Chain A
Amino acid sequence: MSLKIENLTANIGDRQILKGLNLEIPKGQVHAIMGKNGSGKSTLAKVMAGHPDYEVTGGSVTLDGLDLFSMGEPDERSRAGLFVAFQYPMEIPGVTIANFIRAALQARLPEGEELDAVEYYEELYKKMDALKIDRKFTSRAVNEGFSGGEKKRCEILQMAMLNPVYAVLDETDSGLDIDALKIVSDGVNAMRSPERGFLVITHYQRLLDYIVPDVVHVMVDGRIVMSGDKTLAHKLEAEGYDWVEKETLATA
Chain B
Amino acid sequence: METKPDINIDRSIGDFHYDVDYEFDAGTGLTEKTIDYICDVKKDPDWIREFRKDALRKFNSMPMPTHWASPDLENIVFDNIRYYLSQGTQPKRSWDDVPEDVKRTFERLGIPEQERKFLAGVEAQFDSEAAYSNIKAAVGEQGVIFVGSTEGLQKHPEIFKKWFGKVIPTGDNKFSALNSAVFSGGSFIYIPPGVKVKHPLQAYFRINAENFGQFERTLIIADEGSEVMYMEGCTAPKFETSTLHSAVVELVALKGAKIQYITVQNWSSNVFNLVTKRGLAHEEAEIKWIDCNIGSRLTMKYPGVVMKGRKARGEVISIALAGDGQHQDTGAKMIHAADETTSNIVSKSISIGNGRATYRGLVQVGRHLKGCKNNTECDALLINTDSRTDTYPAITVRGKENACQHEASVSKISAEQIFYMQQRGIPEGAAMSLAVNGFVNDLVQQFPMEYSVELKRLIDLEMEGSVG
Binding site for B on A (CB under 8 A): 49-52, 73-75, 77-79, 83-84, 86, 89-96, 99-101, 103-104, 107-108, 141, 158, 162
Question: Which residue from B381, B424, B434 sits with its C-beta under 8 Å from A78?
Answer: B424
Of the stretches B77-85, B152-160, B409-417, B449-457, the one at the interface is B409-417
Q: Identify the 8 closest CB pairs spanning chains A and B, nearest first.
A: A94-B438, A90-B420, A78-B425, A74-B422, A104-B424, A95-B438, A75-B422, A94-B439
* B457 CB to nearest chain A CB (Å): 15
Residues on the B chain within 8 Å of A92, using CB = 413, 417, 420-421, 435, 438
Q: Is the CB of B438 within 8 A of A103?
A: no
Shortest beta-carbon distance from B459 to chain A in Å: 13
Q: Let me know if B61 is at the binding interface, CB within 8 A.
A: no
In contact, B423 and A78 (Cβ under 8 angstroms): yes
Q: Are A162 and B425 in contact (CB under 8 A)?
A: yes
Residue of A nearest to B411 (CB): A93
Interface flag for B22 (CB, 8 Å): no
Nearest chain A CB to B359 CB, angstrom units: 18
Chain B residues near A49 (CB, 8 Å)? 419, 423
Report how far A100 CA is from B438 CA in the complex, Å: 10
* Complex CA distance for A101 and B421, rounded to whole angstroms: 10
Partner of B427, one of A89, A107, A158: A107
Among A93, A141, A158, find the residue whose CB has the most chain B CB atoms closer than 10 A.
A93
In the assembled complex, the CB of B66 is this many whole angstroms from the nearest CB of chain A, namely 35
List residues of chain B with CB within 8 A of the CB of A75: 422-428, 431
Closest Cβ–Cβ distance, residue A108 to chain B (whole Å): 6
Q: Please give, as numbers and ranges, the residues of chain A lying within 8 Å of B425 by CB-CB distance.
A: 75, 78-79, 104, 107-108, 162
A94 near B422 (CB under 8 angstroms)? Answer: no
For chain A, what secondary structure do more than half of its interface residues adopt (helix, strand, loop), or is it mixed? mixed
Contacts of B430 in A (CB 8 A): 103, 107
Residue-by-residue, is B392-421 near A (CB-CB < 8 Å gives 1, otherwise 0)?
000000000000000000010101110111
- Report the minimum CB–CB distance from B275 to chain A (whole Å): 28
Alpha-carbon separation in the docked complex, A96 to B438 (Å):
8
Q: Kindly state the separation between the CA atoms of A101 and B428 in the bound complex, as whole angstroms.
A: 15
Give the distance to chain B from A87, nearest Cβ to Cβ, in Å: 12
Residues of B within 8 A of A86 (CB): 420, 423
Given A90-B417, A93-B411, A95-B434, the answer on whether A103 and B423 have CB atoms closer than 8 Å is no
Known: A78-B422, A90-B420, A100-B434. A73 touches B428 (CB 8 A): yes
Q: List chain A residues, Cβ under 8 A from B142.
A: none
User: Can you give 17 A-B contacts (C-beta < 8 A)?
Assistant: A50-B419, A52-B415, A52-B419, A75-B425, A75-B427, A78-B424, A83-B423, A84-B423, A86-B420, A91-B417, A93-B438, A95-B421, A95-B438, A96-B438, A100-B421, A103-B430, A162-B424
A84, A99, A107: which has the most chain B beta carbons within 10 Å? A107
Residue B441, interface by CB 8 Å: yes
Contact partner, B426, options A50, A51, A83, A104, Cβ 8 Å: A104
Alpha-carbon gap, A104 to B422, bound state (A)? 9
Q: Across the interface, which residues of A come within 8 angstroms of B441, CB to CB?
A: 94
B422 A73 Cβ-Cβ under 8 A: yes
Q: Chain B 54-85 against A: per-residue CB contact (8 Å), 1 yes, 0 no?
A: 00000000000000000000000000000000
Query: Of all chain B residues, which has the CB nearest A86?
Result: B420
Which residue in chain A gives the minimum CB-CB distance to B429?
A: A75
